[in-house]
Amino acid sequence: MIRTLLLASFVLCWTSEVKLQAQDRPNGSTVRGVVVYSDTGRPLRHARVTLFGNQRAFRTQTASDLRGNFEFENVRKGEYSLIVEAPGLLAPYRNGARVRAAVPNPAYPDISELITNVTVTGIDSVDLKIKAVRGGVITGKVTNDDDQPVPHAEIRLLRRDSGKWVPVWTTWTLADEETQKADATGVYRIAGLPSGDYLVRASEPTLADDDVPGEEDTYSNGSFVVAYHPAAINLKNAQVVSVVAGSETTGVDIRMKQQVLHTLDGTVKFELLGQPGSSVTVTIERSDEVGFSTAINNYTTSANQEGKWQVVGLPAGEYLVTIAGSSVILKDPGNVQFVRSLPKRITVKLQDEKVATLSTSLTLGARVVGRVMLSGKPLARDATMTVGAQPVKDPAVSKTATAQSDKPAFEIGLVSPNGRFSVSPLLAGTYWFTASLPKPDEFYVKSVMRKGIDLMQTPFKLTDELVFDDIVVTLAADLASVEGQVMLPDGDMTVIVAPANEVTRRFNAGTRILEAGAQGKIVFRSAPGEYFIAAVTTAEYKTIASQIHNEYFDKNPDKFLRIKLSAGDKIKDLRVPVMKK
Amino acid sequence: MRFLFLLVLICFPSLAAAQVEKGESTISGRVVYADTGKPVRRATVNLFSSFNLPPERTTSTNNRGDFRFNEVAAGTYFVLAEIPGGLSPLKAFVVTEFGYSSDVDIEQTRVSVDGKNAVRCEVRLVRAGSIRGTITYSDKEPVTGAPLQLFRRKNGVTAPYFVRRVETNDRGMYRIDGLPDGEYFVGVSDSIGRVVFRGPDEDRGVVTSYYPGVGSITEAKSIQVQAGSEVSAINITLGDDRLRQISGVVKWRDSGLPVPLATLALRKMDEPRVDVSFEQYLSANSATAAYEYTLTSDIDFTMLASLPVTSTNVQGEWKFPELPPGKYLLTASATPPHADSPVVDLEGEPRIEVESLMNRHARGPVTVRQFEFTVGDTDLKDVVLEMTDGARISGTVVAEGSSMPNLRLFLKRDGSQIGFTRSYHNRDEGSFVLEGVPAGDVRLEAQVLTGSDSYVKSITLGSQDLMRSPLRVEEGAEITGVRITIGHGLAKLSGRVLFGEGGAPAVGSGVLLVKADPALWHSPTARALAIVNAAGEFVMECPPGDYVVFTWAAGNQPAQSMDEFIRAQATGARRISLQKDEEKQIELTVAKPKQ
């Protein structure tokens, strides 16, 4: 119910937002058009039409009128993308009402056909004719063994994408963004689907419940009681449903078999502290659905004060249980730290026993501990500096991956105001040390040493629960200073300065974007290291800005000049080339 | 009005966290379909002591239809089973000043336990009625994603009927479920506002067309629904060719300058609405504390009081596109130009974020004006609405022998609250001021917020009694010296309501206490309302004085406005006198509603 309330209040907030027409900015263009259905040619009324700026954060919306016409007034010069949304249409974006920037819908690999590119001069009007394409429809009925409907069964679709099954976002309105429900008679209908192969999955609705145990075999959480079309209890036996955009696939019924339901409970404790794992979160996923993200299925509960938890309503089968601790307070002498424990992942098979019990100890994992020094004193003021441990083998693993994976993950830690840091929890593995400074033109990381070993150049190895301490990070202020000149500048120029090798990237905050001054002059200070440098026109930079990360430099090294800076260098006349197209 | 909603929403979770009293009784049973006797699997089962309070307990049935509440405290309860497609008093109802009203029989599963024993019961779940249809434009293309609006006619009165929000799907099809027997009207609101949730084009809420395709409910065809069966082919052709636009400008009368960001709320006169402001509804029910519960249970309560709203742009211009023909009332509210400039330019885009708009309304003052107009065969263009700064009313608040309570001050005219007028009550200085008051006769109302033993004893201006007579306000006047006197020592009235003398407890009945003096009948602060709980009991607190008492049985709630009801029923109603700090018990009777 709280969710309903929040949604409702969101809607109210949203409606109070007021947009003004920009009559005070007379030099814009009018972008107008008509939306028609591609199959019937008749007007599409009250469709949501959204205009996104390609080069700047801009988004405006309107609706088509009763003749399918829409109009945006006073649109500034620039490149725009226009999308049309309405129930039943192929949708290029996941719920355009909620995202302010254009976030591509992962379920629709080729969205370009659904986006109209609009070039606005700021003077001339733009007239558009948009053809809205009706998607496909899947509809059917969800019933029990005894032919009774399953009212409000939750329906989710998986679409085959490059040989894999990927969850699809299926709704258009603000409510029930992630799920679509069958009606009171068990009938469901999901529209706006692109052509393709689908699996249709139903799960029982979740009912309201208080915490007092009731009748035997009751379960409020129905999300584990799952069936795939036509009557499969797991994904493996599901039948593929083919959908063609513009047509309906009917009779996609789902029969939900009555199954014996099991209970899984457990106790968690923090091993190092000898305390119960209170408020630890326990996430349960069906093993055949792991990796489908939260869109498809998982269920999270938390342990009580005694570290006990329980989940009821589980059919026989295999489950992945992830137990993740919140922060615990660790008292080192004179140094209180909040430390997260290592999440634990356990596969549980429920077969004969009615109740299965897990006892879990959470450990803190390995930690990397040390301090940051500047001019012989602990770094006192720059509390926003972060340090990290980056797995050597797989640097692409995301920072949040520990909850999802058994592999070592990139973890970062904040440097405390007393210069101390602690990075945890870490799995056994080999890591690089990393550091990131908020102001890269003031200080740089000069050295990272542990017991005589240079951690800037050497990776380190962690075993389970190892505390890897006494790391001393030394900062220095004698940056290299560079004065330069863009060769043959063409109007406003932007200069890209990017680290050119692994060591520089790990310690010096990555890419910097500088606005060149009059006649293309630039001045900057930088840590010693190797860099790529090149200039582009500011307008062109905006079109490539989203691509500017490490891969781009590694793929296009010949577009840049490569320079090496040493501590204290004073370079006066660096000639910055304009990037090759 | 929508800002009030937000406040209500924010308050709600604290209610949900109310402490549950534990006993050792067990209430168990089986939920079966009333027609077939077959068990209902996975039904939600709630235990209520009163439908005006959140459920004491909630569980569900297993696959055999069985449920059990353990650890139940002594008391009398309703056992209510709910399933989509089943009748529930909480999922389909009418809301008026008298609280909410549902026709669903709530008496059948009343259970009493002593806190130790175990009781078994059978809960018979009645299948609800439903309405199904398709909504299309004149060229047969579907009206998609449009909300349906339902009205119910009972005892000659047509009122909005609240069920779970239903929208048309991609083919314009809809299905409204959960309906008890009755006569209904179906309308659809195909507004642009539902598509783009902001901007001057927003016009949420006006019913564009009623079944079978007419613009006014007076021409609409009613639909007879029987519980357990479905009425299909309730199709509506929208009549898009008769929709018109009204547009114009809002100006300050004195300067002629445009009014940017004025808020315009529109009401179609023939469209039945919940004729209470939400605030009024809450205050009328405040004696029972947890009034919100029924309104938040899965219902699209945003429909309750949200009129179509738009705002003027920086030039003071506004429009409501696509209105069906008919008479409308437009309420405009605006902040005079000497207040902070409301225009915020965010990243170069002329847009106001929610926060700044809310701040502006919180700071005020806001002036309010009402205009009437008729939409006919043509668009209405260049309609000029003139606003003025409004008058100012100020005075003192005196508390007699008690601490100063929190006061809410508001104005009424012709029985309706004048929205958005700003009031300030300074508790420390014992002063108050109301700003932006429109000219004409107004009623000044002062209400002590709950949680206090105080009440408003009198409101006077010189020799004039403002509780009993309206205040004449001239345009832009400065009225000072109004005196509000606060008394203390509320009386407590409790008792039982029975179906006739010595009859069964009339659970779910309403009890209304109104000051006996007819000159006070207009005032919502001179009333107290209670709903009888599962044990047949009620309790209410009110200022000392002479009262008339009204009762009605559950499902037999008065259809007319409270003012009309009081006027019609006062002669012959039972009278009661309450002294300062008195605790009185009475037994009331009520006629059993005809089945």
Task: Kindly list the distances between the CA atom of residue A17 and the CA atoms of A422, B176, B195, in Å, as whole numbers in the listed order.
Answer: 44, 31, 14
Topology, domain A366-476: Immunoglobulin-like (2.60.40)
**At which of B220, B242, B264 does a domain end?**
B242
Closest B-chain CA to A98: B197
Is there a contact between A191 and B167 (Cβ–Cβ < 8 Å)?
Answer: no
**At which of B125, B151, B166 does a domain end?**
B125
Is there a contact between A221 and A228 (Cβ–Cβ < 8 Å)?
Answer: no
Q: Which residues contact A550 (CB under 8 A, 6 or more apart)?
A: A498, A505, A510
In a domain, B310, yes or no: no
In a domain, B292, yes or no: no
In the stretch 359-418 of chain A, residues with CB closer than 8 A to chain B read none
Give yes or no: residues B581 and B506 share one domain.
yes
**At which of B88, B105, B125 does a domain end?**
B125
Q: Residue A416 pLDDT > 70, yes or no?
A: yes
Q: Which residues contact B392 (CB under 8 A, 6 or more apart)?
A: B433, B434, B435, B437, B477, B478, B479
Burial of A72 (0-12, 13-18, 19+ CB in 10 A): buried
Q: What is the pLDDT of residue B295?
A: 40
Give yes or no: residues B427 and B398 share one domain.
yes
Burial of B405 (0-12, 13-18, 19+ CB in 10 A): buried
> Number of C-alpha atoms within 13 angstroms, CB side, residue B327?
6
In a domain, B577, yes or no: yes
pLDDT in tens, A474-492: 988 898 999 998 988 888 8
Taking the C-alpha atoms of residue A313 and residue A173, their distance in angstroms, rounded to an integer, is 30
* Among A75-79, A104-108, A407-411, B93-97, the range of highest mean pLDDT: A75-79
pLDDT band at A383 (very low <50, low <70, confident <90, very high): low
Q: Which of A155-169, A285-299, A363-377, A464-478 has the lowest mean pLDDT?
A: A285-299
Q: CB distance from B350 to chain A under 8 Å?
A: yes
Interval A254-269 mean pLDDT: 92
* B66 neighbourhood in chain A, CB within 8 Å: 215-216
* A37 neighbourhood in chain B, CB within 8 Å: 141
Out of B139, B197, B314, closest to residue A23 by CB: B314
Residue B296 to residue A1, Cβ atoms within 8 A? yes
Per the CATH hierarchy, to which homologous superfamily does domain A263-362 belong?
Transthyretin/hydroxyisourate hydrolase domain (2.60.40.180)
Is there a contact between A122 and A28 (Cβ–Cβ < 8 Å)?
Answer: yes
Taking the C-alpha atoms of residue B252 and residue B244, their distance in angstroms, rounded to an integer, is 27
Evaluated on CA atoms A426, A431, A437, A442, the torsion sign reads positive
Q: What is the pLDDT of residue B46?
A: 93
Probe site for chain B from A18, A85, A190 (most B CB atoms < 10 A): A18
In the stretch 146-165 of chain B, residues with CB closer than 8 A to chain A read 146, 165
Probe site for chain A from B20, B63, B167 (most A CB atoms < 10 A): B63
What is the CATH classification number for the domain harbouring B86? 2.60.40.10
Taking the C-alpha atoms of residue A283 and residue A324, their distance in angstroms, rounded to an integer, is 8
Give yes or no: residues B509 and B542 share one domain.
yes
DSSP element (H, E) containing B548: strand B545-552
pTM of the model: 0.79
Q: What is the pLDDT of residue A24?
A: 42
Q: What is the pLDDT of residue A509?
A: 60
DSSP element (H, E) containing A60: strand A59-63
Task: Kindly list the distances between the CA atom of residue A49 and the CA atoms of B189, B196, B496, in Å, as whole numbers in the listed order.
Answer: 20, 9, 59
Give yes or no: residues B119 and B139 share one domain.
no
3-state secondary structure A240-271: CEEECCCCEECCCCEEECCCCEEEEEEEEEEC
Structure tokens at B276: 């209470």
Out of A23, A63, A191, closest to residue B195 by CB: A63
* B171 neighbourhood in chain A, CB within 8 Å: 88, 191
Residue B322 to residue A66, Cβ atoms within 8 A? yes
Out of A21, A66, A217, closest to residue B313 by CB: A21
Q: What is the pLDDT of residue A324?
A: 85
Q: Length of chain A in residues, anyone?
A: 581
pLDDT in tens, A177-196: 445 889 999 999 998 888 88
Q: Residue A401 pLDDT > 50, yes or no?
A: no
pLDDT band at A297 (very low <50, low <70, confident <90, very high): low
In a domain, B374, yes or no: no
Is there a contact between A44 and A128 (Cβ–Cβ < 8 Å)?
Answer: no
pLDDT band at A248 (very low <50, low <70, confident <90, very high): very high
Query: What amino acid is encoded at A215 in this protein?
Result: E
In the stretch 90-119 of chain A, residues with CB closer than 8 A to chain B read 97
Q: CB distance from A141 to chain B under 8 Å?
A: no
Out of A12, A137, A212, closest to residue B2 by CB: A12
* A58 neighbourhood in chain B, CB within 8 Å: 349
Please report where in the chains the tokens 């009777």 appear, as a residue.
B589
Out of A14, A42, A219, closest to residue B197 by CB: A14
In a domain, B223, yes or no: yes
Interval A94-99 mean pLDDT: 35
Taking the C-alpha atoms of residue A90 and residue A77, their distance in angstroms, rounded to an integer, is 29
Task: Report which of B88, B112, B264 is spatially closest to residue B178, judged by C-alpha positions.
Answer: B88
Interval A542-564 mean pLDDT: 81
Residue B192 to residue A46, Cβ atoms within 8 A? yes
The reply to whether domains A20-132 and A263-362 share a CATH topology is yes
Other beta carbons within 10 Å of B116: 11
In a domain, B295, yes or no: no
Q: CB distance from B132 to chain A under 8 Å?
A: no
Residue A215 to residue B200, Cβ atoms within 8 A? no
Task: Report which of B466, B582, B445, B565 is spatially closest to residue B512, judged by C-alpha positions.
Answer: B565
Low-confidence ranges of chain B (pLDDT < 70): 1-21, 52, 104-108, 193, 196-205, 274-307, 336-366, 415-422, 450-451, 594-595
What is the CATH classification number for the domain harbouring B220? 2.60.40.1120
The alpha carbon of residue A300 is apart from the nearest alpha carbon of chain B, in Å, by 20
3-class DSSP state of B533: coil
Q: CB distance from B311 to chain A under 8 Å?
A: yes
Residue A209 to residue B59, Cβ atoms within 8 A? yes
pLDDT band at A105 (very low <50, low <70, confident <90, very high): very low
* B317 neighbourhood in chain A, CB within 8 Å: 21
* B57 neighbourhood in chain A, CB within 8 Å: 210, 212
Q: What is the DSSP string of B407-433?
A: EEEEEEETTEE-TT-EEEEETTTTEEE
In a domain, B268, yes or no: no
| A498 φψ region: left (φ > 0), alpha (ψ -120 to 50), beta (else) | beta
Residue A212 to residue B70, Cβ atoms within 8 A? yes
**Domain ranges for chain A:** 20-132, 136-256, 263-362, 366-476, 480-576
Q: CB distance from B247 to chain A under 8 Å?
A: no
Taking the C-alpha atoms of residue A132 and residue A127, their distance in angstroms, rounded to an integer, is 16
Cis peptide before A425 (omega within 30 of 0): yes
Q: What's the CATH number of domain A480-576, 3.40.50.720, 2.60.40.1120, 3.10.20.740, 2.30.30.40? A: 2.60.40.1120
3-class DSSP state of A499: strand
In the stretch 407-446 of chain B, residues with CB closer than 8 A to chain A read none
DSSP state of B280: H
Angle, helix B2-16 to helix A2-16, in steps of 10 degrees: 160
In the stretch 440-499 of chain A, residues with CB closer than 8 A to chain B read none
Q: CB distance from B362 to chain A under 8 Å?
A: no
Buried b (16+ CB within 10 A) or exposed e, A492-521: ebbbbbbbbeeebbbbbbebbebebeeebe
Give yes or no: residues B9 and B82 share one domain.
yes
Domain with residues A20-132, CATH architecture: Sandwich (2.60)
Q: Residue A173 pLDDT > 80, yes or no?
A: no
Residue B200 to residue A47, Cβ atoms within 8 A? no
Q: CB distance from A11 to chain B under 8 Å?
A: yes
* A217 neighbourhood in chain B, CB within 8 Å: 62-64
Task: Report which of A219, A186, A185, A221 is spatially closest to residue A202, judged by C-alpha positions.
Answer: A186
* B244 neighbourhood in chain A, CB within 8 Å: none
Q: CB distance from A340 to chain B under 8 Å?
A: no
For chains A and B, what is the number of CB pairs under 8 angstroms?
Answer: 223
Q: CB distance from B12 to chain A under 8 Å?
A: yes
Q: CB distance from B18 to chain A under 8 Å?
A: no
DSSP state of B73: P
Residue A17 to residue B145, Cβ atoms within 8 A? no
A541 φ/ψ angles, rounded to the nearest 5 degrees: -55, -40
CA A259 to chain centroid: 36
Residue A11 to residue B302, Cβ atoms within 8 A? yes
pLDDT in tens, A424-458: 888 888 999 998 887 777 888 889 999 999 998 89
Domain with residues A136-256, CATH architecture: Sandwich (2.60)
Give yes or no: residues B100 and B18 share one domain.
yes
Structure tokens at A384: 């926003």
Residue B296 to residue A148, Cβ atoms within 8 A? no
Range of the domain at B222: 129-242
Closest A-chain CA to B22: A212
End-to-end, the C-alpha distance of chain B in Å comes to 38
Please report where in the chains the tokens 């002498």 appear, as a residue.
A333
The alpha carbon of residue B114 is apart from the nearest alpha carbon of chain A, in Å, by 19
Residue A16 to residue B354, Cβ atoms within 8 A? yes
Give yes or no: residues B416 and B520 share one domain.
no
Task: Report which of B387, B361, B383 is spatially closest to residue B372, judged by C-alpha positions.
Answer: B383
Q: What is the pLDDT of residue B42?
A: 94
Probe site for chain B from A16, A44, A65, A142 (most B CB atoms < 10 A): A16
Domain count, chain B: 4
Give yes or no: residues B514 and B443 share one domain.
no
